[in-house]
Structure 1
Amino acid sequence: MKLRLQLFEFEDLPWFPKVIRAGMMDYLRFMISALGTYRPIVPLLLAALRHTGSARVLELGAGAGGGTAGVLRELRATGLPDARVCLTDLYPQPAAWQALQAANPGLDFEPTTVNALAVPAALPGFRTIFSAFHHFPPTAAEALLADAVRRRSGIGVFEGAGKHWAELLLAVTVLPVAQLLITPLIRPFRFSRLFFTYAVPLIPLFTIWDGCVSILRMYPPAQLLALAHRADPAGTFTWQAGTVRHWWGPRVTYLIGVPRGS
């Protein structure tokens, strides 16, 4: 599927209720972590970190931190024992992040708002963005990459899908059923999450819409490379993009850029 539609996601809207956004993010974190969605990109990320000589990952647009703990554990187990991850977001979720921090050595977070298009110099590290790059329209996406180029900070963009029509079908059939089944298992427990899933099912309904739109908004590898080359007109970075297959079938789309000569 090469078509990209900008559309909109409810979680991006400033007026969208925080309690609903948090419930949606908690569900995504649980599913991404349980399925190990980003495990296939660990070798790519490990190679990029070694290339840049960095052991610190600065995650932009972290949401509720879905998959981050698993990626950190894999990095530490496969050749980078001192790896660290710092979570950041335009809408920080310290309550969710504190639970992850307590259970995962090497994971911390920035509790204040961080704009991925202008990351403060006080927050160094190899930048990553998981499941969130599609939120940025082309101009903003290019600016996000250009900010990393300007700071000579390596960057990895990872989307937990391969942009196929079958994934849209999955988003409106299997995943909503799974959400209803697993919501009582999500921690930390929140009564609001149960209320807005079963009594007034706003969380599932908005999750279906945002999930479908996420796939339609995704940039395929060729478009990711085009954005990267516009953000780096002098060619000071080495860029690669593609997809890797997940163990249960779907693909993960990625873009990785590292400074030349680092």
Structure 2
Amino acid sequence: MKLRLQLFEFEDLSWFPSVIRAGMMDYLRFMISHLRIYDSVVPLLQVALRATNQQQIVELGAGAGGGTEGVARAIRAAPDLQEVSTTLTDLYPQPTAWQQLAARPDTGITYEAAPVDALAVPAHLTGFRTIFSAFHHFSPTAAEAMLADAVRQRSGIGVFEGAGKHWHELLLAWTILPVLQLLATPFMPPFRLSRLFFTYVIPLVPLCTIWDGTVSILRMYPPEQLLALAHRADPNGSFAWQAGKTRHWSGSQVTYLLGWPKSSNSK
């Protein structure tokens, strides 16, 4: 599916109630973590970290940190990457969710409490940049600006979307996933009465999740479009870029873009 529509998502809106946004982020973190959506990109990230001689990851648009714990542990399982740390950032920080991740052992997770604009990352946040399940939120102009900022600051970057952009994924977003959300909500940490209320009494969390999930798939960039954005952001060709898809254990796909300075020591 090559169609891309730049529709709005509720969680992008500055006026959107934070309590509903938090409920949606909790659900995404829970599902991505328990399904281990991003396990298949760990080898790619390990190669990128070695190529850039980095021991620090800066995660942009981290939301509630879905999948970060599993990816961080898997990366650090390699003997030469045991000291890798991950700093969570977002324009709308989720410190309540992040504190739980930071408290868990053997992950090296920290977080930036202040808002961070992924299009202009502060200079003190150095490391290999990643963005999981969020790049589609950005228009082509903004997405190109994000990549250009990484090029300008000579920071490697990895873009990962937990889908392959297929029509059957839209059907999942409309049918099976809403049922799973209703079943899983009572078991999602941290416990929030507000999340229960806005799921079962006034179902704004699941309804907004269905809309945002649908729009996410329609806004997603396929690999060829990701490469086109990267080449526009890097007109001098100073970065090495690659894009493609990996396969999740369930059979679904993960779309990715990776880039780092050509002057880095590749292995």
TM-score of the aligned structures, taking structure 1 as reference length: 0.99
1:1-262 superposed matches below 5 A: 1-79=1-79, 80-105=81-106, 106-262=108-264
Distance (Å, rounded) in 2 between the aligned partners of 1:194 and 1:255: 36
Deviation beyond 3 Å, 4+ runs, structure 1 = none
Distance (Å, rounded) in 1 between the aligned partners of 2:119 and 2:231: 17
Cα deviation digits, residues 15-50 of structure 1 (max 9, x gap)? 100000000000000000000000000000100000
Cα deviation digits, residues 220-255 of structure 1 (max 9, x gap)? 000000000000000000000000010001100000
Distance (Å, rounded) in 2 between the aligned partners of 1:78 and 1:247: 21
Q: Following TM superposition, by how much is the alpha carbon of 1:55 offset from its aligned partner in structure 2, in angstroms?
A: 1.1
Q: Residues 58 and 128 of structure 1 are in contact (CA less than 8 Å); yes or no, is this contact kept in structure 2?
A: yes
Residue aligned with 1:57, SS:
strand
Q: Residues 69 and 104 of structure 1 are in contact (CA less than 8 Å); yes or no, is this contact kept in structure 2?
A: no
TM-score of the aligned structures, taking structure 2 as reference length: 0.97
CA-atom RMSD in angstroms: 0.6
Q: Following TM superposition, by how much is the alpha carbon of 1:83 offset from its aligned partner in structure 2, in angstroms?
A: 1.1
Letter in 2 for 1:67: G
Cα deviation digits, residues 184-209 of structure 1 (max 9, x gap)? 11011000010001011100000000
Cα deviation digits, residues 142-193 of structure 1 (max 9, x gap)? 0000000000000000000000000000000000000000001101100001
Distance (Å, rounded) in 2 between the aligned partners of 1:49 and 1:78: 11
- Segments of 5+ residues of structure 1 without an aligned counterpart are none
Residue aligned with 1:127, SS:
strand
Q: Identity of paired residues, percent?
A: 72
- Segments of 5+ residues of structure 2 without an aligned counterpart are none
